[in-house]
Structure 1
């Protein structure tokens, strides 16, 4: 069986990506967090770092990794690159002189340390000179009392990081309170208060996405659309010239490029390029997450033996954040797209043959391992290496240049 690691993004005040916290799950036990924390960390590092490289999972951003007491005392983190790693001291760790010595030594070696689920208890004061991040669970610390708690730490030289941020409104409120970094999928939640009217350019891009959902593509019609938009033509040629496609002959025309790609891959490209233009002024991680979901849903459909659904599965994953991109209710956006009912059902209710792959990636992202296990058991053959599918999706998203 396989171990898994999910990642949750961490942003600064400008919504620039700082790194990811890595969330562990062991498929043999399926009991995390009941699995011993030291064993969890050991397995995560041996399976993900030694076999695959953490930088592949984090895209060369910082990796925030949980360490329990014994791992810290025995200096287990020193197997990692200090420039790419933040050592999170779990909330279950008890303060001791041995812990203080271990953290002082790790700090001396260049590691950044974080206190996870910080409780504002005075016992941690002696550790503060070696701490770079204090992580505060805002579900356990109500907003109305946070300002006073943070004021007590006015001499702290590190950064405050808010965990479990779920909405943009919370993100803005936490900035006012003095937090520096923010963890969660709040950036993927649409703000529905504006109900902005979609512009002509956005409608044009949505029509392209709708074209990708057609059972059969009209190549001549697509050539006409591409020829009117130099940017789309350039992106098509750059996409087909990427390492993803191995060619022995040069591409001679736009239609040649489209025919070379074939309907299945061309549909993916149309959805990708249209969504990338819609995301032009949005948080880049939003587009990347859409692409990861699209690729993952595509691969899951194939692994499940539903090759006829791959294009639709890809489109379902790609459109799963369209409401956040357009700041519109999802049902309103979908009402303007002539999509198959099974795609709409998947996006709105996570049901049907296309809803299952989407549900799988959503549970994976959030490390909802029990729900993930239930979906995986129903959907995929027992020996499917879902971790490999997820890593493939991460790699694919990193390689694309849209």
Structure 2
């Protein structure tokens, strides 16, 4: 049970999520925290929407850092070796008792990962225990990696490149032979020739415009959806998914309006548009957009920002459009009929939403001091902010699950 946590995706060579590395605010250096006292645990449970590992990682593997002291004497017995990779937070070379602790953890069925920018010698006694070797490519030279990597390619050790923050880094590491890639390279535009949105996406563009309008023209929205039989089918399938709608069987957009209301329909058609607009991109990029959308929506409600149209939701949802469409944000917005309020926020012209963007990036990157700073700027208790972000993660996991069945190419397991 955890209340204060961040996660960073680890993707495979097809850019599907293989796992998340979890970073704990309560643990030294992001490590797994010490056991909470029962009183503190109860207080967190009642106030801050704590998550379990399944909630955080959405049925993916969790990489968790452990201090050597925890591994040697206080390793938690509740973790599942089928879904958790144990990562060594400390240098294993001189720590008394750590080798024996690692041997015990392996006997329990856990996989073991180690951070090593110098790439561990196969002669080291801990080498046979290692399942995953992680290399911070921002600290190691590619020439050094290329020299040392052959001895791992013939072993059963999986190689993770860390701090992969551009597509150039991803392509280089992929060529070198890394299996997995940790970092936010996929949230950056790929370098491509400037292109206009294809005609096949124009229906989605129209829907995005309607979602950001202060007016609600149901006939126009219906006409847009009816132009595209596949989109109409997807809408009904998606809107009847239990994650989205647990109460009623919906058979038309008009029917949905009766039960969901105007604001929720606007959120839904924006979400549907984005998911289809980015159908050739890693699903994790859509997932990040979903979490941001819900988080910004909750922040907007707490700050009494206008909710019709749901500007906070839309700004969060569309905040990665540049990466989704491989264009600069100004070029993207020239092609979309979004309101001035939404466009200005996406261009960084609105102080309110600039705070939201800074805050969500802090949660994504475990920049806890900036969470405290933005808490003061927004006049929202930082623990309440953690609760909102946890709620957004849970919601995003649920919607991702609903979306993934319609885009099976994006979720093949490694």
Normalising to structure 2: TM-score of the pair?
0.86
Match of 1:171 in 2: 170
Distance 1:121 1:129 in 2: 11
Contact 1:301–1:357 (CA under 8 A) maintained in structure 2: no
Call closer, same or farther: CA 1:155–1:350 in 2, change over 3 Å: farther
Aligned residues: 391
Q: CA deviation at 1:307?
A: 4.9
Match of 2:275 in 1: 276
Distance 1:350 1:97 in 2: 55
SS of residue in 2 equivalent to 1:126: coil
Contact 1:63–1:85 (CA under 8 A) maintained in structure 2: yes
Match of 1:57 in 2: 56
Match of 1:115 in 2: 114
Q: CA deviation at 1:128?
A: 1.0
Distance 1:144 1:114 in 2: 23
Distance 2:177 2:392 in 1: 35
Call closer, same or farther: CA 1:378–1:59 in 2, change over 3 Å: same
Contact 1:293–1:318 (CA under 8 A) maintained in structure 2: yes
Q: CA deviation at 1:181?
A: 0.7
Call closer, same or farther: CA 1:117–1:308 in 2, change over 3 Å: same
Q: CA deviation at 1:150?
A: 2.0
What are the within-5 Å matches in structure 2 for residues 300-319 of structure 1? 300-308=299-307, 311-319=310-318
Call closer, same or farther: CA 1:201–1:38 in 2, change over 3 Å: closer
Question: Could you list the per-position Cα deviations for residues 310-347 of structure 1 after superposition, in whole angstroms to 9, with x for gaps in the alignment?
Answer: 71111111111111121122110012223333322332
SS of residue in 1 equivalent to 2:160: strand
CA RMSD after TM alignment: 2.7
Contact 1:77–1:87 (CA under 8 A) maintained in structure 2: no
Contact 1:91–1:117 (CA under 8 A) maintained in structure 2: no
Call closer, same or farther: CA 1:51–1:272 in 2, change over 3 Å: closer
Distance 1:247 1:104 in 2: 50
Q: CA deviation at 1:97?
A: 5.3
Call closer, same or farther: CA 1:192–1:86 in 2, change over 3 Å: same
Q: CA deviation at 1:235?
A: 3.3
Q: CA deviation at 1:252?
A: 5.7
Match of 1:40 in 2: 33
What are the within-5 Å matches in structure 2 for residues 316-355 of structure 1? 316-349=315-348, 351-355=350-354
Question: Could you list the per-position Cα deviations for residues 259-306 of structure 1 after superposition, in whole angstroms to 9, with x for gaps in the alignment?
Answer: 432221111111111111112222111111111111111011112233
Distance 1:107 1:3 in 2: 28
SS of residue in 2 equivalent to 1:88: strand
Call closer, same or farther: CA 1:118–1:317 in 2, change over 3 Å: same
Normalising to structure 1: TM-score of the pair?
0.88
Q: CA deviation at 1:156?
A: 4.2
Larger relative CO (CA 8 A, sep 6+): 1 or 2? 2
SS of residue in 2 equivalent to 1:8: strand
The answer to which of 196-205 and 102-111 deviates more is 196-205
Distance 1:75 1:155 in 2: 35
